[in-house]
Amino acid sequence: MGSLTTPSSDRRATVSLFSRLRTAQGQADPFPLYTELRSRGGVSPAPWGGLLVTSFDTCDRILRSGDWLEPDKSWRDRQGHSTRWNAPSAREISNTMPALNPPEHTSVRRAAGGFDRTTIQRMGETVRELTDGLLDTVADRLRDGEDEADFAALVSEELPVATIGAWLSLPSADWPQLRELTHEQVYTQELLPSSSQLARSDVAMAELRSYFMDLIRDRRSHLGDDPVSRWIQTWDAREPDRDKADEAVYFLVLFVLLAALETTSTLLSTTALMLLEEPTRWDLLHTRPDLIPAFVEETLRYDPPIHVISRVAARDGSLNGMEVRADDMVHLMVGAAHRDPVAHSDPEQFDPHRPTSHHLAFSGGIHYCLGAPLARLEAQTLLRQLVGRLPRLALTRRPPRAPRVAFRRLLRLDVALA
């Protein structure tokens, strides 16, 4: 059986690969680096401890297995108080749904509810109207003689916050600030955050706590027909201590906001990029709008918004012949696994005609993304309206990317009339 010790040359090569991956340049095209990583095997040691998984089947199996857990509060305690896992923002995240394990996770997920068909149908109308308005802004800008427009700022960054803001009944004046805070907090969930990035997350998280605790107190005095009011009622029925009930609602609404904004913005920008990069794709969707859902799924496979999902071992064992000790962390490199040739034929090709675009963009198993139907609704609506009503757009330059690893982000997406 292999162990986690690696020859120092391999270790140095992996360290160098991740330093390149963390730059804006590496993020512009991380896929050759993933091919390099995959060439070391579907499971390989991470230089900082634990394992990196690039095999699609192994990622899939881990997400569905009870032998692998979320790094929860007790795991974080065992890592020591001075580690990144116990920074104030990380402690805050450790109370949210994706950092819980059963049985607590099961009960919190049940209390959250989900997006059933009726809710999605109702939200569909709002998303259509919002998308229409945002595309009008892009069209007006370009028709009014401006050479180009930043599609990311005008559309991708706006639609998710307006959709979630309307759903949660948050005042629209607060949306820009909430969106900025979600961009700032993301570092605490990144693969290798620096201490200054963690400090930014800590500040953002403290502001988010104070915003949402005020909101919950206020909502308590005017309960209405909105998700926050419903969560308050659900938790009041379960938890006699009001402060604890408020805290539980806070962690739910906090995570919904964090989960829903940047990820969906990235999906919208990446979907638009896929369309603009290759003019024949615009023509294809214009004549075959029935391919729009498959186009979105292929985007989620080809370049998902989240490239790394992590788990920890519940007990000693092995993974593809590598020794694993209880508490060891595995990083599921899903961005790389989506290009695994064992799972997908011709994986480097973007092909909306694939019979099934099997992917792990929304994770798998018990933590499967609760918001997936909403993210799909936004991306499909955007594509439908783009190709249905706008004159053809063209990309004016390659979009710059934030220097990260796990959470992809296009900083701009400059477009012009084709």
Stretch that binds ligand HEM, among 20-28, 77-85, 240-248, 365-373 (CB under 6 A): 365-373
Among 90, 93, 254, 370, binds ligand HEM (CB under 6 A): 370
Distance CA 183, CA 261 (A): 9
Among 363, 396, 412, 416, binds ligand HEM (CB under 6 A): 363
Crossing angle of the two packed helices 279-287 and 372-389, in degrees rounded to 10: 100
Please state, as a whole number, how many other Cβ atoms lie within 10 Å of the Cβ of residue 289.
15
Among 127, 259, 413, 415, binds ligand HEM (CB under 6 A): 259
Strand partners, 306: 407
Helix ranges (DSSP H) in 65-157: 73-79, 88-93, 104-112, 117-143, 151
Distance CA 373, CA 369 (A): 9
Pick from 143, 164, 254, 156: nearest CA to 209: 254
Rg (CA), the chain: 22
The answer to whether 269 contacts ligand HEM (rule: CB under 6 A) is no
Stretch that binds ligand HEM, among 21-29, 176-184, 192-200, 254-262 (CB under 6 A): 254-262
Q: How far is the CB of 363 from ligand HEM (least distance, A)?
A: 3
Closer by beta carbon to ligand HEM, 46 or else 375: 375
Closer by beta carbon to ligand HEM, 215 or else 306: 306
Widest distance between CA atoms in the chain: 66
Closer by beta carbon to ligand HEM, 46 or else 142: 46
Among 275, 375, 393, 395, binds ligand HEM (CB under 6 A): 375
Among 250, 255, 282, 295, binds ligand HEM (CB under 6 A): 255
Q: Which amino acid is at 252?
A: L
Residue whose structure tokens are 């979630």: 164
Pick from 272, 307, 301: nearest CA to 381: 272
Pick from 92, 61, 104, 74: nearest CA to 365: 61
Cα 169 to Cα 161, 162, 229, 307, 377: the distances in Å are: 11, 10, 10, 31, 19
Distance CA 400, CA 410 (A): 6
Among 191, 272, 309, 324, binds ligand HEM (CB under 6 A): 309
Closer by beta carbon to ligand HEM, 44 or else 101: 101
Please state, as a whole number, how many other Cβ atoms lie within 10 Å of the Cβ of residue 362.
20
Among 22, 219, 344, 367, binds ligand HEM (CB under 6 A): 367
Closer by beta carbon to ligand HEM, 61 or else 392: 61
Q: How far is the CB of 144 from ligand HEM (least distance, A)?
A: 32
The answer to whether 406 contacts ligand HEM (rule: CB under 6 A) is no
Distance CA 310, CA 318 (A): 17
Closer by beta carbon to ligand HEM, 47 or else 98: 98
Closer by beta carbon to ligand HEM, 275 or else 306: 306
Q: How far is the CB of 287 from ligand HEM (least distance, A)?
A: 26
Q: How far is the CB of 165 from ligand HEM (least distance, A)?
A: 11
The answer to whether 337 contacts ligand HEM (rule: CB under 6 A) is no
Q: How far is the CB of 62 from ligand HEM (least distance, A)?
A: 10
Give me the residues that bind ligand HEM (CB under 6 A), please. Answer: 97-98, 109, 255-256, 259-260, 263-264, 267, 304-306, 309, 361-363, 367, 369-371, 374-375
